[in-house]
């Protein structure tokens, strides 16, 4: 490889490292203060980087916000969905998906609890690219939960007449209630309550086979 190629690769890697450093910080800030708490100048000052260097990576505050949302989605997937890659479709997979979400929130993967719960409240009534990106993550998460329930229904773990969208809505609502109560009140017992409620709701919708799976530890 030429010296020019080596220098270029080095600059690219340094840029990637800086990008990871910045996004690690912006995800935590946004989970506590919201995406409006982000600015190129603030991040440059906090991380002792040049503002021009941060600008070169993200271009604008909106670019920084959108990159932060994408990075948070990858972290969310890594903690909630990826651990299920070897778990076959069914009630067990649904149960583990719910538990992974509760652990992701309770372990404070993001400093402010669930990143997407925080920024959804911030941008729900707005318009624009950041709102659209937040809304899309919500649609993707709802769809993932509904798909997991549908697959479990297909293998015979849930009733054939199950209203998948309704059950997904209720399960996600219990998760988010636990996140909100824990973050606001410091009440970690909310996660146990949410898990009991989710399990009860899943059992009520399950077949005998599905209940056996849900009851197995």
Instruction: Show the low-confidence residues of the chain (pLDDT under 70).
Output: 1-8, 217
Query: Rounded to two decimals, what is the model's pTM?
Result: 0.90
Give the Cα separation of 156 and 151 in Å (integer).
9
CA 215 – CA 89 distance, rounded (Å) = 17
pLDDT in tens, 130-164: 999 999 999 999 999 999 999 999 999 999 999 99
């Amino acid at each position: 490889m030429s010296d020019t190629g080596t220098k270029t690769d080095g600059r690219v890697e340094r840029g990637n490292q800086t990008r990871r450093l910045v996004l690690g910080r912006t995800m935590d800030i946004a989970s506590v203060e919201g995406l409006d708490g982000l600015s190129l100048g603030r991040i440059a000052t906090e991380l002792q980087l040049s503002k021009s260097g941060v600008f070169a990576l993200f271009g604008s505050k909106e670019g920084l916000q959108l990159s932060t949302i994408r990075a948070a989605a990858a972290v969310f997937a890594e903690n909630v969905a990826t651990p299920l890659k070897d778990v076959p479709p069914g009630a067990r997979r649904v149960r583990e998906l719910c538990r992974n979400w509760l652990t992701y929130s309770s372990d404070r993967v993001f400093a402010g609890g669930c990143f997407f719960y925080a920024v959804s409240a911030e941008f729900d009534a707005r318009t624009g690219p950041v709102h659209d990106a937040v809304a899309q993550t919500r649609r993707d998460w709802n769809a993932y939960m509904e798909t997991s329930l549908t697959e479990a229904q297909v293998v015979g773990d849930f009733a054939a007449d199950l209203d998948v969208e309704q059950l997904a809505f209720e399960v996600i609502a219990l998760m988010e209630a636990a996140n909100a109560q824990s973050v606001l009140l410091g009440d970690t017992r909310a996660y146990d309550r949410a898990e009991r409620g989710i399990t009860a709701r899943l059992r009520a919708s399950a077949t005998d086979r599905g209940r056996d799976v849900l009851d197995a530890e």
